[in-house]
Amino acid sequence: MIAAPKVIAVADHFGRMIDVLCNPFECIDRRILDHPPVRISLAMTTIYEARKVVTMNRSRPLATHVAVRDGRILGAGSLDELTGWGAYKLDRTFADKVLMPGLVEGHSHVAEGVQWRFVYCGYFDRTDPDGTTWPGLRSIEEVLARLSAANAGLSDPKQPLTGWALDPIYFDNRRVTREDLDRVTTTRPIGIMHASGHIMNVNTRALELAGLLRAGINHPGVPLGPDGLPTGEMKGPEVMTPIGPHVGLDRSLLASDEPGLRAFARLCVRKGVTTAADLANLLPKAAVEMMLRVSGEDSFPARIVSLRIARDISPAELIDRVIELRKSSSDRLRLGIVKVIVDGSIQGFSARLKPPGYYNGAPNGLWYVAPEQLREIFERALAAGIQVHSHTNGDEATELVLDTLELALRNNPSPDHRFTLQHCQLANAAQFRRMRSLGMCVNLFPNHHFYWGDQHYALTVGPERAERMNACATALASGVPMAIHSDAPVTPLGPLFTAWCAVNRLTASGRILGTQERISVADALRTITLGAAYTLGLDGEVGSIECGKHADFAVLEDDPTEIGGEHLKDVRIWGTVQGGRIFAAATI
């Protein structure tokens, strides 16, 4: 005869209370027989005490305690209120911390985790997944010094030296040349990716290996020096691809791999992020299996929403594939959303702009999809209940998406489709009003103001449109559900930094770019939690601290609601709680 264990409560895998039992075995047996897939667990209630809980729940915005059981929130409130849930353990780990809903990054790329295998050459300080902060490099000399140090650490003379995040815009726009990099080494190939991801600098050895150290090259992406040979600056993906494998930037490396995914998730913990969108993945079978396995590990600290990019296959096959992907989702790997790239980038002059076009007179950019293809993808996705996120940078690209969705919705009325415009940097007020009418969401890119706002003002779109870019205040005033994003690794992952950008709209030189488009701290904090969650269809599960949602928290040393908008980026982050599991940045 086995003694029945004392059972306080039983919850199913959604965290719902099933029963308080007198005869647990009989009940469990019955339920297992009736519902074999349901996992019955003996769950423990933990009540976390905090200095402050900022809930994003309108009816209960602040609390001192939050109760968690089996990865779900039972409630936020006072200790007294929460003890009604039954036996509990009081956890005072966060007694002097501020809890927010786990931050949601609505547009990043898991490849951020891969970049850190390379030498960081950026102008701004940046923290790697291990927590080391690499000081920004303020001159070409400093870049060369860091590269030389890395070069000295490599023993294999043929191994390429690879760097990333270079931004010569900040070096008085003096172009980096192969002669500069040759001072580091002439025997080993060097390749340094720019921060924009659109340009690469290489040394002479790399050009030799790629067969490009020759006269007579006639390509706008390959500037030539006075000697008629390439200067080593390679502009545009079609020019970078042939040389990439010679400098350690193989395409397969730039997609996510297992160590990259793990590194990315560690970075999420450091930034208070518990849910992050991986916005453009081909999601081949092997990658999905790897991501399911790794994200399913008990120690994996983030929820990844990975979008299938529309590429390689026809719209019909694409939607079929995404329907299948959706079925294979797990709690920490969400699949089943489509990403379409409509145009290029503003700083690369490949975004599609409405008249009068680029400020410096550059010709209009490129389309990456034809209207008929976009229409077919939209129609099929709406019919199947699949969400589509569309990358548009220029306002003409945004207009095409609005026109196309309007037509597609007539054939496929879908009250809650949440089709989302990603970047959408140049949208004007009329376009935001149309987004609202069509039920669209928008995910704007305020980090651009800080990193490239001065260039947008002076060169790409000119003063007026630079001030209107990423019009967060207009979006909110128009009632468009909004997220804001980093596009990591293009700019660093960090929703609180992105929120700071939206609140202050400062450029790197200190110019305020569009005073009227600044938003309040409260709106910004809501945007990096519930706002981003809404665009991913997850606002019912995450984005606020309230009864029934996942126990996903950002654990902060400072109070973002008190620190002041100008200091929002300086809020210190202790770590996260994800699905009720605690992850400290210091030990991740």
Partner 1 sequence: MTGPIPVTLIGGYLGAGKTTLVNSLLRNAGGRRLAVLVNEFGALPVDADLIVAREDNLISVSGGCICCSFGSDLVAALIDIRTRGRPIDHLLIETSGVALPGSIVQSVALLAGLAIDGVIVLADAETVEQRADDRYMSDTVRGQLAGADIIVLNKVDLVSSERAAAIARWLAEIAPGARVVPAEKAEIPAEIILGGPPDLRLIAPRLQPPRHRTADYETLNLELDGSVDAGKLGRILADPRLGLLRSKGFLRGSDGAFVTLHVVGRRSQVEPAPSWIDGPGRLICIGFAAEMDRAAILAAIRDWAPKTSL
Question: Where is 584: in which H helix or E strand?
Answer: strand 581-584
Q: Could you tell me if 88 and 256 are in contact, meaning their C-beta atoms sit under 8 angstroms apart?
A: no
Closer Cβ to partner 1, 364 or 412, answer by number? 364
Q: How far is the CB of 574 from partner 1 (least distance, A)?
A: 40
In whole angstroms, how far apart are CA 559 and each of 82, 233, 567, 585? 23, 45, 11, 17
Q: How far is the CB of 375 from partner 1 (least distance, A)?
A: 11
Cβ-proximal residues to 564 (8 Å cutoff; 6+ apart), any chain: 521
Cβ-proximal residues to 282 (8 Å cutoff; 6+ apart), any chain: 255, 308, 309, 311, 312
- For partner 1, the binding residues (CB under 8 A) are 211-212, 217-222, 237-239, 241-242, 245, 251, 282, 311-314, 316-317, 341, 352, 364, 366-373, 396, 400
Closer Cβ to partner 1, 254 or 512, answer by number? 254
98-101 and 45-54 beta bridge pairing: parallel
Running DSSP on this structure, what letter comes out for residue 458? I
Q: How far is the CB of 372 from partner 1 (least distance, A)?
A: 5
Q: Could you tell me if 169 and 456 are in contact, meaning their C-beta atoms sit under 8 angstroms apart?
A: no
Closer Cβ to partner 1, 426 or 472, answer by number? 426
Closer Cβ to partner 1, 396 or 467, answer by number? 396
Closer Cβ to partner 1, 84 or 242, answer by number? 242
User: Is the peptide bond between 356 and the residue preceding it cis, with omega within 30 degrees of 0?
Assistant: yes
Q: How far is the CB of 298 from partner 1 (least distance, A)?
A: 33
Cβ-proximal residues to 483 (8 Å cutoff; 6+ apart), any chain: 104, 106, 107, 420, 441, 442, 443, 444, 527, 528, 531, 532, 534, 535
Closer Cβ to partner 1, 180 or 396, answer by number? 396
Cβ-proximal residues to 426 (8 Å cutoff; 6+ apart), any chain: 346, 351, 353, 393, 394, 395, 398, 461, 465, 468, 469
Cβ-proximal residues to 458 (8 Å cutoff; 6+ apart), any chain: none
Closer Cβ to partner 1, 181 or 374, answer by number? 374
Q: What are phi and psi of 62, to 5 degrees?
A: -125, 150
**Closest to 239 measured CA to CA, from 248, 230, 227:** 230
Closer Cβ to partner 1, 278 or 396, answer by number? 396
Q: How far is the CB of 400 from partner 1 (least distance, A)?
A: 5
Q: How far is CA 505 from the centre of its chain?
A: 20
Angle, CA 45 vertex, CA 43 and CA 48 arms, to 5°:
145
Closer Cβ to partner 1, 301 or 348, answer by number? 348
User: Is the peptide bond between 489 and the residue preceding it cis, with omega within 30 degrees of 0?
Assistant: yes
Closer Cβ to partner 1, 141 or 238, answer by number? 238
> Which amino acid is located at 47 in the chain?
I
CA–CA dist 548, 55 (Å, integer):
13
Closer Cβ to partner 1, 394 or 492, answer by number? 394
Q: What are phi and psi of 125, to 5 degrees?
A: -60, 140
Token reading at 319: 């939607």
CA–CA dist 406, 414 (Å, integer):
11
Q: What are phi and psi of 59, to 5 degrees?
A: -80, -10
Angle, CA 344 vertex, CA 320 and CA 441 arms, to 5°:
60
Closer Cβ to partner 1, 41 or 364, answer by number? 364
**Closest to 43 measured CA to CA, from 26, 63, 78, 19:** 19
Closer Cβ to partner 1, 16 or 311, answer by number? 311
